[in-house]
Structure 1
Amino acid sequence: MRMNKREWGRAGLAMLGIAVAMAAIELAMGRVPICTCGTIDLWHGEVNSAGNSQHLSDWYTPSHIVHGLLFYAAARWLLPGRSLPLRAVLATLVEAAWEVVENTPAVIGRYRDATIALGYNGDSVVNSLADLVAMLLGFALAARLPVWASVLLVLALELAALLAIRDNLTLNVLMLLWPNDAVRNWQAG
């Protein structure tokens, strides 16, 4: 399927609008624009710290890349005749909606109650925007990679986070929906 510059231009504007709306909603919800430490780091590797989910990337960034890989697969399966730019806009909308929902008091409380994220305070707006970009990176990779390579990338990203911090997208979803004491104890080390 051939794509033209005009369609990508409109899609790019729509994705930018979605990102701006997401940031505005989060600011209206009282989310901090950047880490209260006053800096914006490219990488923050300490999971159990006040800086987690406050900077541009952290150990949860791979899960957002996985979102993009999965959103591409879902959109390709559910919307086979639709253009790649339209599917990218829809993936952006889903990710932005998740970022807003993830930063509501109810979900932040759920993370604290059901997972090992006892001191979790939610994302900064800059972290949410970076998570959105990470999802788009995953989406773009999936659009170019063969299916087998996308599957291997998902497995590699999930395994890397699991080995590094005893958490990943799979465990995150499991613990949010069906908390398990054995998993929580293992994650706590």
Structure 2
Amino acid sequence: MAVFSPRNTAIAALVLLAATAATLLAMGRVPICTCGEIKLFAPEVYSPDNSQQIADWYTPSHVIHGFLFYGATFLLARLLPAGWMPVGARLLLAMLVEIGWELLENSPIIIDRYRAQTIALDYYGDSVLNSICDVLAMMIGFWIARRLPVLATVALGIGLEILCLVVIRDNLTLNVLMLVHPVQAVLDWQKGAMPPAP
């Protein structure tokens, strides 16, 4: 469909990103880290930089979102008549879902839930920079899934999950589990990696 040409899709994606940033600012989110610095990567999970910079150890989760959204929209497109859901439409739908999550994740109800039920004790929400970069990470994941064979995408997703599990004792799977149905044994194991309180 011409309406979802690469140019029109890019314009729509930019409009969605701008609208997301404006909404997050209206919600009271800080534009960048309150430390005043912009960093490419925040390596410390238990630091004020986490969820504030361009990327952190939770960025792979958003890449995996892209894998999952590509697969889900691929299956959805197969249920519709041919041509009704071209890849541009699928990307924009994936963006809407990811943006919806970013807005919900930065609402008081989810922030409080994270702080009460997960290892994110000092989580006060993402910076606007981090949220926009999370959406971009999802878009990169979507693009990767479109280019790689299915088995390679699955292997990469599992690899990212294992990497995060080993390095920070958290990943997308555990994050969802602990948000939806907290398990005390998992929380205790995750807390074992936390630095001692000052």
Give TM-score, length-normalised by structure 2.
0.92
CA contact (8 A) 1:108 1:122 kept: yes
Taking the aligned partners of 1:4 and 1:170, their CA distance within structure 2 comes to 38
Gaps of 5+ in 1: none
**Structure 1 counterpart of 2:195:** none
Instruction: Confirm whether residue 183 of structure 1 aligns to residue 183 of structure 2.
Output: no
Q: Select the residue among 146, 150, 158 that pairs with 1:143.
A: 146
Gaps of 5+ in 2: 193-198
Taking the aligned partners of 1:157 and 1:74, their CA distance within structure 2 comes to 19
Taking the aligned partners of 1:172 and 1:68, their CA distance within structure 2 comes to 16
CA contact (8 A) 1:22 1:97 kept: no
Taking the aligned partners of 2:4 and 2:64, their CA distance within structure 1 comes to 28
Q: Secondary structure at the match of 1:20?
A: helix
Taking the aligned partners of 2:38 and 2:183, their CA distance within structure 1 comes to 34
CA contact (8 A) 2:4 2:89 kept: no
After superposition, give the CA deviation of every residue in 1:87-114 in whole Å (9 maximum; x if it has no partner): 0111111111111110001100000011
Query: RMSD of the alignment, in Å?
Result: 1.3
Taking the aligned partners of 2:63 and 2:6, their CA distance within structure 1 comes to 21
Question: Which segment drifts farther, 23-32 or 77-86?
Answer: 77-86
Q: Select the residue among 163, 168, 171 that pairs with 2:171.
A: 168
Q: Select the residue among 70, 73, 93 that pairs with 2:71.
A: 73
1:3-42 pair list within 5 angstroms: 7-42=5-40
1:42-121 pair list within 5 angstroms: 42-80=40-78, 81=82, 82-121=85-124
Instruction: Confirm whether residue 156 of structure 1 aligns to residue 159 of structure 2.
Output: yes
Flag the 1:102–1:6 CA change in 2: closer, same or farther, 3 A: closer
Question: Which segment drifts farther, 58-67 or 15-24?
Answer: 15-24
Point out 4+ residue stretches in structure 1 off by more than 4 angstroms. Answer: 3-6
Per the TM alignment, residue 45 of structure 1 is displaced from its structure 2 partner at its CA by 0.6
After superposition, give the CA deviation of every residue in 1:66-88 in whole Å (9 maximum; x if it has no partner): 00000000000112242111101
Give TM-score, length-normalised by structure 1.
0.96
Per the TM alignment, residue 8 of structure 1 is displaced from its structure 2 partner at its CA by 1.0
CA contact (8 A) 1:44 1:57 kept: yes
Instruction: Give the share of equivalent positions with the same residue, in percent.
Output: 53
Q: Select the residue among 135, 139, 144 that pairs with 1:132.
A: 135
